[in-house]
């Protein structure tokens, strides 16, 4: 009888022992590493950096007294300076910001456009910018899969200091004046490191009509339909507020 009872106990316990052994074998298996996905790049933060490039200026000079136009005085120049701004990424695809831009203009081409003014003689007039400055709002577009790229448009106000020279028989007059206007442009920016971006930027600056050389005898000269364009490349240091990319950990 005792043998029969012991046999029944062994038969009943055997499945339990097998189950415990199987669980113990599972615990001995190595645990696979748990990957941590790197967070999306964030464009939020202040930025500052230098730029260099080219500029093109167009000044149509008119003699006020005679109404004679000197035609378009267009030239290219080297520009260089910097920009500072702030981005705020409001969604995975939309970035809003504000930017200040300042570039000096360097050119050795100061050739004027000449015309003969009745009662005065042959007169040449030239105007060229010394520096340009803009203050603009920016709207940028990025997205999952290309979050290190930002495609932006911008627009706002502009200020340009212009040096004008009038050469006439027996007299030369020069004047520098800061003229305001509007600006529209855009560009592409690439984050090649967590805090560093590179960009290419275009601006079109339209300037108001202005008198450039008052008091020339009884005459004055004005610029009409003046504009300046800049195309620059630059780098920015972005004070990025997002956390750095996570590292995949393993056990």
Any alpha helices (H) in 1-160, and if so which ranges?
2-27
pLDDT tens across 32-66, in order?
555 545 568 899 999 999 999 999 988 877 777 77
Across 195-202, average pLDDT? 97
Residue 220 three-state SS? coil
Alpha-carbon Rg for the chain in angstroms: 35
The torsion region of residue 17 among left (phi > 0), alpha (psi -120 to 50) and beta comes to alpha
Local structure of residue 34 (DSSP, 8 states)? -
The Cα–Cα gap between 189 and 235 comes to 9
The Cα–Cα gap between 220 and 233 comes to 39
pTM of the model: 0.76
pLDDT of 102 higher than 80: yes
The Cα–Cα gap between 165 and 170 comes to 14
What domains can be seen in the chain, in order of their start residue?
45-240 (2.40.160.20)
Q: Which residues of 90-108 are buried (b: 16+ CB within 10 A; e: fewer)?
A: eeeeebbbebebebebeee
pLDDT tens across 112-141, in order?
666 666 666 677 777 788 999 999 999 999
pLDDT of 177 higher than 60: yes
- Are the beta carbons of 60 and 113 closer than 8 angstroms? no
Question: What is the CB-side half-sphere exposure of residue 85 using CA atoms within 13 A?
Answer: 26
Q: Which of 116, 209, 218, 210 is nearest to 167 (CA)?
A: 116
Residue 245: its pLDDT value, please?
42
- Are the beta carbons of 161 and 106 closer than 8 angstroms? no
pLDDT of 5 higher than 60: no
pLDDT of 247 higher than 50: no
In percent, the amount of the chain with pLDDT more than 70 equals 69
Residue 76: its pLDDT value, please?
85
């Amino acid at each position: 009888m005792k043998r029969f009872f012991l046999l029944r106990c062994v038969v009943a316990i055997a499945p339990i022992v097998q189950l415990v052994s199987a669980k113990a074998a599972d615990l001995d298996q190595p645990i696979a590493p748990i990957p941590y996905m790197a967070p999306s790049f964030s464009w939020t933060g202040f930025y500052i950096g230098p730029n260099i490039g080219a500029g093109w200026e167009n000044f149509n000079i008119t003699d006020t007294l005679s109404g004679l136009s000197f035609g378009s005085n267009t030239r290219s120049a080297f520009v260089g300076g910097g920009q500072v701004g702030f981005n705020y990424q409001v969604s995975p695809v939309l970035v809003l910001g504000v930017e200040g831009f300042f570039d000096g203009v360097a050119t050795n081409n100061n050739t004027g456009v000449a015309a003969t003014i009745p009662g005065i003689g042959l007169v040449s007039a030239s105007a060229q910018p010394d520096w340009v400055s803009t203050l603009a709002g920016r709207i940028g577009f990025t997205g999952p899969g290309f979050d290190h790229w930002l495609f932006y448009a911008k627009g706002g106000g502009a200020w340009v200091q212009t040096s004008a020279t009038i050469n006439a028989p027996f007299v030369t007059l020069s004047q520098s004046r800061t003229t305001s206007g509007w600006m529209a442009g855009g560009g592409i920016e690439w984050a090649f490191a967590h805090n560093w971006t590179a960009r290419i930027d275009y601006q079109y600056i339209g300037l108001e009509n202005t008198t450039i050389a008052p008091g020339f005898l009884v005459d004055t000269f004005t610029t009409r339909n003046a504009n300046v364009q800049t195309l620059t490349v630059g780098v920015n240091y972005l004070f990025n507020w997002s956390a750095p990319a996570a590292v995949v950990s393993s056990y």
